[in-house]
Amino acid sequence: MFKKMMKSGSRKPSRNDAGFDPNSTNMVVNHASRPSPLPPPSPTTTKQPPPMNSIEPLPLLRDLPPPERQPLFLRKLQICSFNFDFTDSSKNAREKEIKRQTLLELVDYIQSGTTAKIISELCQEEMVKMISSNIFRSLPASAGQQPADAEEDEPYLDPNWPHLQLVYELLIRYVVPSDTDTKIAKRFIDHSFVSNLLELFETEDPRERDYLKTILHRIYGKFMVHRPFIRKGINNIFYRFVYETERHSGIGELLEIMGSIINGFALPMKEEHKLFLIRALIPLHKPKPIGVYHQQLAYCVVQFVEKDYRLADTVIRGLLKFWPVTNCTKEVLFLGELEEVLEATQPVEFQRCMVPLFQRVARCLNSSHFQVAERSLFLWNSEHIVVLIAQNRSVILPIIFASLEKNTESHWNLAVHGLSENIKRMFMEMDPELFEECQQEYEEKQSKSKEVEEQRQSRWRRLDEAVEERERVVGEEDHMIIS
């Protein structure tokens, strides 16, 4: 009876059990899922071979019968554990080529069948050790600096990449397949391994960061025990970047991973996730190199608002807190993100922040930088935003009317001038009485400011006249004393 219960109780997990599709490019992690238990691994009698002191070619795995492949597999892992200096292409050329061919064979061998069937538990452990010895290394001194601008600077390319790529391919083919036994694999893909993997995101080689992004995401989806640890590790990288260094090459890739993770958050959202938004994502708007990762950052922020509309007020006020004052390029990025957030904002949340929001928009409308002014005027191209503004026009129009009027009177850019005219016409058709009131109030303020300016000029004239009179009197007194 016990054997029957054990037999019926274990089943092969489906991809839906883990909430993760390893073949999907748009990956979403389902946090409510739990993988089903796998059957225990079969015992292995493979022994660790003696260490190798030199690299020599070995027979191909496919040329040997299956019982003899495991020892040969371990020998090949030893070959691949040798590290070479790739800055000098002429040094150890023969050994490097043997290692490259061996890596290619191992990748093909792992891909050819079920992992649990073709390699034993000992082989899996030694394979992870070999992978660790290759990828976990000291990065160049320049690594971790401010990311290179793809349009201006050539990205750094690691000379080790021809071998590193094959090692990463081997790791992907070990982590991704659904038939990999996570109970065994998590003994080797442990917290230490994940922590070292996170540190590698500081590499300046974009090819390596792309592999790291895929691998870490697969580990997050496959090993549920590592999920809190991975989120905490990414948080710590963001904190160090924002509050200490402002230098890290992999922020964009880590944000891509977080964007997929956020997409899988269950509702109601945990307080831990809300704190991540407030303490990490919103402050990420502060560093100077935001342009390198802003697209991924905006996606994460908008995901939060779409998941829980009540966070819209928190996000908008956070954007206003870190709003750039002298950097027009960042200001254009902020306006684009603001539009995406507003499109996911509900009326109640909009009313909570509309006054400080449109005070900032009014200043952007009058920016002498035409892209900032034009981008702020584009907010009215969104139907959802226009509806929100129309519902609260009695509050919003008095705030922005002066800016629109000044644009139509004196802005140097014709496009900004025309867009301002269109928005004024929209408000006029929307509520003629309110528009007339704002027009009168604006004219009164202009008249008062004109009077104040005239009084100021008058005071200056009187002061100038008094100075001239004083100089004349002093001059006459000096003349009388001399004579």
Measured CA to CA, the distance from residue 355 to residue 359 in angstroms comes to 6
Instruction: Identify which of 205, 132, 117, 125 has the alpha carbon closest to the alpha carbon of residue 167.
Output: 132
Q: What are phi and psi of 482, to 5 degrees?
A: -70, -40
CB atoms within 10 A of CB 402: 17
CA distance 197 to 212: 7
Q: Which of 423, 417, 369 is nearest to 396 (CA)?
A: 423
pLDDT tens by residue, 172-217: 999 988 888 889 999 999 999 999 999 999 999 999 999 999 999 9
Cβ-based neighbours of 167, under 8 Å, separated by 6 or more:
80, 103, 130, 131, 134, 135
When mean pLDDT is compared across 33-37, 56-60, 221-225, 308-312, the lowest value belongs to: 33-37
pLDDT in tens, 270-290: 999 999 999 999 999 999 999
Segment 380-387 shows an average pLDDT of: 96
| Residue 158 CB-half CA count within 13 A | 24
Instruction: Kindly indicate the confidence band of residue 114, based on its pLDDT and cuts at 50, 70 and 90.
Output: low
Looking at residue 141, its pLDDT comes to 66
Cα(396)–Cα(362) distance, integer angstroms: 10
pTM for this entry: 0.81
Residue 45 pLDDT > 60: no
pLDDT at 118 over 80: no
Q: Is the peptide bond before 268 cis (omega within 30 degrees of 0)?
A: yes
Q: Which of 45-59, 152-166, 348-362, 421-435 has the lowest mean pLDDT?
A: 45-59
